[in-house]
Amino acid sequence: MTSMVTKMFYSYFHPEHYFLSNTTPNPVYTLWFRQDQLIQNALMASVEPTIASTVAAANISKQAWDSLHTAYANKSQTRIFSLCDQHARITKDTIPITEYPQRIRSLLDELATVGAPVTNSELIVKILSGLGPEFREISADIRVRDTTITYEELYEKLLDHELYIRHEEAKKTHNPITAAVATHNKSNNNSNNRNNRRQSYNNNSQPWR
Protein backbone atom coordinates (compact mmCIF):
# COMPACT_ATOMS: atom_id res chain seq x y z
CA MET A 1 0.00 0.00 0.00
CA THR A 2 2.89 2.37 0.83
CA SER A 3 4.44 1.71 -2.56
CA MET A 4 1.14 2.47 -4.27
CA VAL A 5 0.76 5.76 -2.38
CA THR A 6 4.32 6.74 -3.31
CA LYS A 7 3.57 6.09 -6.97
CA MET A 8 0.43 8.21 -6.73
CA PHE A 9 2.41 11.19 -5.55
CA TYR A 10 4.88 10.69 -8.36
CA SER A 11 1.97 10.45 -10.77
CA TYR A 12 1.10 14.07 -10.04
CA PHE A 13 4.21 15.12 -11.95
CA HIS A 14 3.30 13.36 -15.12
CA PRO A 15 5.26 13.81 -18.37
CA GLU A 16 3.98 15.78 -21.34
CA HIS A 17 1.40 14.03 -23.47
CA TYR A 18 3.05 15.11 -26.71
CA PHE A 19 6.50 16.19 -27.71
CA LEU A 20 6.81 19.97 -27.84
CA SER A 21 8.09 19.91 -31.42
CA ASN A 22 5.12 18.10 -32.92
CA THR A 23 2.01 16.10 -32.15
CA THR A 24 3.80 12.78 -31.81
CA PRO A 25 2.68 11.05 -28.60
CA ASN A 26 5.32 10.89 -25.90
CA PRO A 27 6.08 7.19 -25.16
CA VAL A 28 7.09 8.09 -21.61
CA TYR A 29 3.66 9.62 -21.07
CA THR A 30 1.99 6.52 -22.50
CA LEU A 31 3.84 4.31 -20.00
CA TRP A 32 3.08 6.67 -17.13
CA PHE A 33 -0.61 6.82 -18.06
CA ARG A 34 -0.91 3.03 -18.06
CA GLN A 35 0.71 2.81 -14.63
CA ASP A 36 -1.47 5.60 -13.28
CA GLN A 37 -4.60 3.86 -14.54
CA LEU A 38 -3.54 0.67 -12.76
CA ILE A 39 -3.13 2.62 -9.54
CA GLN A 40 -6.52 4.28 -9.95
CA ASN A 41 -8.15 0.91 -10.64
CA ALA A 42 -6.52 -0.46 -7.48
CA LEU A 43 -8.03 2.43 -5.55
CA MET A 44 -11.43 1.70 -7.06
CA ALA A 45 -11.19 -1.92 -5.95
CA SER A 46 -10.18 -1.00 -2.40
CA VAL A 47 -13.02 1.40 -1.58
CA GLU A 48 -16.69 0.79 -0.91
CA PRO A 49 -19.11 1.04 -3.86
CA THR A 50 -20.76 4.09 -2.30
CA ILE A 51 -17.58 6.16 -2.70
CA ALA A 52 -16.19 4.60 -5.88
CA SER A 53 -17.59 7.51 -7.90
CA THR A 54 -15.19 9.84 -6.09
CA VAL A 55 -12.27 7.83 -7.44
CA ALA A 56 -13.78 7.44 -10.90
CA ALA A 57 -14.32 11.18 -11.31
CA ALA A 58 -10.62 11.96 -10.86
CA ASN A 59 -8.39 12.42 -13.90
CA ILE A 60 -5.34 10.85 -12.26
CA SER A 61 -4.74 8.71 -9.19
CA LYS A 62 -3.22 11.59 -7.21
CA GLN A 63 -6.43 13.58 -7.59
CA ALA A 64 -8.46 10.55 -6.52
CA TRP A 65 -6.31 10.12 -3.42
CA ASP A 66 -6.57 13.80 -2.50
CA SER A 67 -10.36 13.70 -2.88
CA LEU A 68 -10.63 10.69 -0.60
CA HIS A 69 -8.33 12.26 1.96
CA THR A 70 -10.32 15.49 2.02
CA ALA A 71 -13.67 13.70 2.24
CA TYR A 72 -12.75 11.30 5.02
CA ALA A 73 -10.08 13.04 7.10
CA ASN A 74 -12.71 14.68 9.30
CA LYS A 75 -14.59 11.40 9.68
CA SER A 76 -11.37 9.72 10.80
CA GLN A 77 -10.85 12.37 13.48
CA THR A 78 -14.43 11.94 14.67
CA ARG A 79 -13.87 8.20 14.91
CA ILE A 80 -10.65 8.73 16.86
CA PHE A 81 -12.42 11.02 19.34
CA SER A 82 -15.22 8.48 19.77
CA LEU A 83 -12.81 5.61 20.39
CA CYS A 84 -10.72 7.67 22.81
CA ASP A 85 -13.87 8.58 24.74
CA GLN A 86 -14.88 4.92 25.01
CA HIS A 87 -11.33 4.04 26.00
CA ALA A 88 -11.31 6.65 28.78
CA ARG A 89 -14.66 5.56 30.20
CA ILE A 90 -14.37 1.78 30.21
CA THR A 91 -13.70 0.01 33.53
CA LYS A 92 -14.19 -3.58 34.59
CA ASP A 93 -17.20 -2.85 36.82
CA THR A 94 -19.61 -5.72 36.06
CA ILE A 95 -17.80 -6.87 32.91
CA PRO A 96 -16.48 -10.45 33.28
CA ILE A 97 -12.70 -10.59 33.52
CA THR A 98 -12.71 -12.85 30.46
CA GLU A 99 -14.14 -9.97 28.39
CA TYR A 100 -12.76 -6.81 30.03
CA PRO A 101 -9.16 -6.92 28.69
CA GLN A 102 -10.41 -8.01 25.27
CA ARG A 103 -12.76 -5.02 25.01
CA ILE A 104 -9.93 -2.61 25.75
CA ARG A 105 -7.61 -4.30 23.29
CA SER A 106 -10.32 -4.20 20.62
CA LEU A 107 -10.75 -0.44 21.12
CA LEU A 108 -7.01 0.15 20.89
CA ASP A 109 -6.74 -2.01 17.78
CA GLU A 110 -9.40 0.19 16.16
CA LEU A 111 -7.47 3.29 17.18
CA ALA A 112 -4.40 1.88 15.47
CA THR A 113 -6.31 1.32 12.24
CA VAL A 114 -7.40 4.98 12.12
CA GLY A 115 -3.91 6.30 12.73
CA ALA A 116 -3.71 6.57 16.53
CA PRO A 117 -1.69 3.54 17.70
CA VAL A 118 -1.17 2.82 21.40
CA THR A 119 1.88 1.10 22.91
CA ASN A 120 1.76 -2.17 24.84
CA SER A 121 2.66 -0.32 28.06
CA GLU A 122 -0.31 2.02 27.60
CA LEU A 123 -2.58 -0.98 27.00
CA ILE A 124 -1.39 -2.68 30.20
CA VAL A 125 -1.76 0.49 32.30
CA LYS A 126 -5.30 1.03 31.01
CA ILE A 127 -6.35 -2.53 31.86
CA LEU A 128 -4.85 -2.31 35.37
CA SER A 129 -6.36 1.12 36.03
CA GLY A 130 -9.89 -0.11 35.37
CA LEU A 131 -9.76 -3.12 37.69
CA GLY A 132 -11.73 -3.23 40.93
CA PRO A 133 -10.31 -3.36 44.49
CA GLU A 134 -10.33 -7.15 44.47
CA PHE A 135 -7.49 -7.00 41.92
CA ARG A 136 -5.45 -4.41 43.85
CA GLU A 137 -2.81 -6.88 45.00
CA ILE A 138 -2.06 -8.38 41.60
CA SER A 139 -2.16 -4.93 40.01
CA ALA A 140 0.49 -3.67 42.43
CA ASP A 141 2.72 -6.69 41.74
CA ILE A 142 2.58 -6.12 37.99
CA ARG A 143 3.31 -2.40 38.28
CA VAL A 144 6.59 -3.00 40.14
CA ARG A 145 7.95 -5.53 37.65
CA ASP A 146 11.31 -4.77 36.09
CA THR A 147 10.00 -5.65 32.65
CA THR A 148 6.67 -4.82 31.04
CA ILE A 149 4.23 -7.71 31.06
CA THR A 150 2.71 -8.76 27.75
CA TYR A 151 -1.02 -8.64 27.12
CA GLU A 152 -1.18 -12.44 26.93
CA GLU A 153 0.62 -12.86 30.26
CA LEU A 154 -1.60 -10.29 31.95
CA TYR A 155 -4.75 -11.93 30.61
CA GLU A 156 -3.75 -15.31 32.07
CA LYS A 157 -2.81 -13.80 35.44
CA LEU A 158 -6.14 -12.00 35.71
CA LEU A 159 -8.06 -15.19 34.95
CA ASP A 160 -6.05 -17.10 37.57
CA HIS A 161 -6.60 -14.37 40.15
CA GLU A 162 -10.36 -14.37 39.60
CA LEU A 163 -10.43 -18.15 40.07
CA TYR A 164 -8.57 -17.66 43.35
CA ILE A 165 -11.08 -15.00 44.44
CA ARG A 166 -14.01 -17.30 43.67
CA HIS A 167 -12.36 -20.14 45.59
CA GLU A 168 -11.90 -17.93 48.64
CA GLU A 169 -15.50 -16.70 48.45
CA ALA A 170 -16.72 -20.29 48.21
CA LYS A 171 -14.77 -21.15 51.36
CA LYS A 172 -16.32 -18.23 53.24
CA THR A 173 -19.78 -19.32 52.13
CA HIS A 174 -19.12 -22.93 53.11
CA ASN A 175 -17.69 -22.24 56.59
CA PRO A 176 -20.80 -20.54 58.10
CA ILE A 177 -22.94 -23.42 56.89
CA THR A 178 -20.57 -25.93 58.45
CA ALA A 179 -20.51 -23.95 61.68
CA ALA A 180 -24.32 -23.77 61.74
CA VAL A 181 -24.61 -27.53 61.24
CA ALA A 182 -22.05 -28.16 63.98
CA THR A 183 -23.90 -25.82 66.35
CA HIS A 184 -27.19 -27.51 65.53
CA ASN A 185 -25.72 -30.96 66.17
CA LYS A 186 -24.12 -29.81 69.41
CA SER A 187 -27.44 -28.34 70.53
CA ASN A 188 -29.21 -31.61 69.76
CA ASN A 189 -26.56 -33.58 71.62
CA ASN A 190 -26.85 -31.33 74.68
CA SER A 191 -30.61 -31.65 74.57
CA ASN A 192 -30.38 -35.42 74.32
CA ASN A 193 -27.91 -35.55 77.20
CA ARG A 194 -30.22 -33.48 79.38
CA ASN A 195 -33.14 -35.72 78.50
CA ASN A 196 -31.11 -38.82 79.30
CA ARG A 197 -30.02 -37.42 82.67
CA ARG A 198 -33.59 -36.42 83.46
CA GLN A 199 -34.86 -39.89 82.55
CA SER A 200 -32.17 -41.51 84.65
CA TYR A 201 -33.00 -39.29 87.62
CA ASN A 202 -36.69 -40.10 87.33
CA ASN A 203 -35.98 -43.81 87.22
CA ASN A 204 -33.72 -43.61 90.27
CA SER A 205 -36.24 -41.51 92.18
CA GLN A 206 -39.05 -44.08 91.94
CA PRO A 207 -39.69 -46.00 95.29
CA TRP A 208 -39.01 -49.72 95.55
CA ARG A 209 -42.03 -51.88 95.42
Q: What average pLDDT does this structure show over 198-204?
A: 52
pLDDT band of residue 196 (cuts 50, 70, 90) is: low
In angstroms, the CA 158 to CA 99 distance is 11
Per the CB < 8 A criterion, the answer to whether 142 and 149 are in contact is: yes
Whether 81 is in a domain gets the answer: no
Task: Check whether 91 has a pLDDT greater than 90.
Answer: yes
Q: What average pLDDT does this structure show over 12-33?
A: 70
Domain boundary among 45, 75, 105: 75
Per the CB < 8 A criterion, the answer to whether 40 and 64 are in contact is: yes
Q: Which residues of 137-155 are buried (b: 16+ CB within 10 A; e: fewer)?
A: ebbeebeeeeeebebeebb
Whether 108 is in a domain gets the answer: no
**Residue 196 shares a structural domain with residue 127:** yes
Whether 176 is in a domain gets the answer: yes
Domain boundary among 75, 106, 136: 75
Q: What is the pLDDT of residue 53?
A: 86
Whether 167 is in a domain gets the answer: yes
Highest mean pLDDT among 7-21, 80-94, 173-187: 80-94
Give residue 175's domain range: 120-203
Number of domains, the chain? 2
